[in-house]
Amino acid sequence: MKTAAEVCPLCAGTGWKPVPGTPDGGVKRCDCLLRARGGALIAAARIPKRYEHCELSNFDFEGPLSHLEHARMAAYRFVEEYPVDKTGLLLIGNAGSGKTHLAVGIAKALIQEKGIECVFYDYADLLKQIQDSYNPSVQTTELGLLRPVFEAEVLVLDDLGSVRPTDWRWDTVRLILNTRYNDGRTTIITTNFPNKPPGKPGGKPAADDEDDSPPRASAQDSSDQVKYTLGDRIGEPMRSRLHEMCRIVKMEGLDYRKKFKRARFV
């Protein structure tokens, strides 16, 4: 049994604290519960080490980055309105425009402020893990691997379309995103590819396009033309489904890696 000193004075141990000024005695999750849950949720969120520093509060949006103010606002609004509004976000922009930073910042804010379970997956890594876990003798994929992808309350899917499409990849991404959509779960997606229909007949790369490199390599330099569209990389039906699942946030602009980090540390 807890002593009076151990019981949280805000919620008296219920995990819910009153919200002052709400007409019919509104409550929200208590800070003590969020603190206790937050550490475990952050550890389980699979945020890669190189993005651990990413927060909404350290996302620059001033001066030469003022074009990012609307994206930052959309991120704060998303956190504030979740889970009343569960529509996801599709962050679209060139390499280094801050898409992953913002997506990770949102996930961390949801965890810390609302105790929401979020998991991060890089698209290419996820497809590879699924492929590697496939057991041909029983024709199944390890369910333990897929469960968090299907069931996490919020999934961050980073770099959608970053690997060359194949039928298997299209089927897999369709299964993941449709399952989450049908189950009313929220997905935050980042991509480098312009939000346009397929530029090539049928949406699949032509035989002479069989290289895996173009999105990142060509998109690294914003002056280069991006070779493919989002429709090319995930198929038009899936691209159109994303418009039902997500609000589009455009983040085209400077490559922060090139223009700012270097300037700061030399």
> By the criterion CB under 5 A, which residues form the site for Mg ion?
100
For ligand ATP, the closer CB: 76 or 256: 256
Among 17, 88, 110, 159, binds ligand ATP (CB under 6 A): 159
Return the number of the residue (31 or 125) whose C-beta is nearest ligand ATP. 125
Does residue 99 touch ligand ATP according to CB under 6 A? yes
Q: At how many degrees (to 10) do helices 143-151 and 123-133 cross?
A: 150
DSSP of 154-217: EEEEESTT-S---HHHHHHHHHHHHHHHHTT-EEEEEESS-S---SSGGGSPPGGG--S-HHHH
Q: Is 121 in the site for ligand ATP (CB under 6 A)?
A: no
Does 97 interact with ligand ATP (rule: CB under 6 A)? yes
Measured from the CB atom, the residue of 17 and 99 that comes closer to Mg ion is 99
Judged by beta carbon distances under 5 to 8 A according to partner kind, the member of Mg ion, ligand ATP, none in contact with residue 229 is none
Q: Which of 81, 83, 101 is nearest to 91 (CA)?
A: 101
What one-letter code names the amino acid at 141? T
Q: In the set 33, 75, 96, 155, which binds ligand ATP (CB under 6 A)? A: 96
Task: State how far the alpha carbon of 20 is from the alpha carbons of 141, 221, 227, 254, in Å.
Answer: 49, 50, 54, 43
Among candidates 262, 123, 260, 118, which has minimal Cα distance to 192? 123
Is residue 249 a contact residue for ligand ATP (CB under 6 A)? no
Query: Of 31, 55, 60, 113, which lies in the binding site for ligand ATP, with binding defined by CB under 6 A?
Result: 60
> Looking at 11, 47, 65, 177, which residue binds ligand ATP (CB under 6 A)?
65
Cα 210 to Cα 217: distance, rounded to the nearest angstrom: 15
Q: Which residues bind ligand ATP (CB under 6 A)?
A: 54, 58-60, 65, 68, 93, 95-101, 159, 190, 192, 256-257
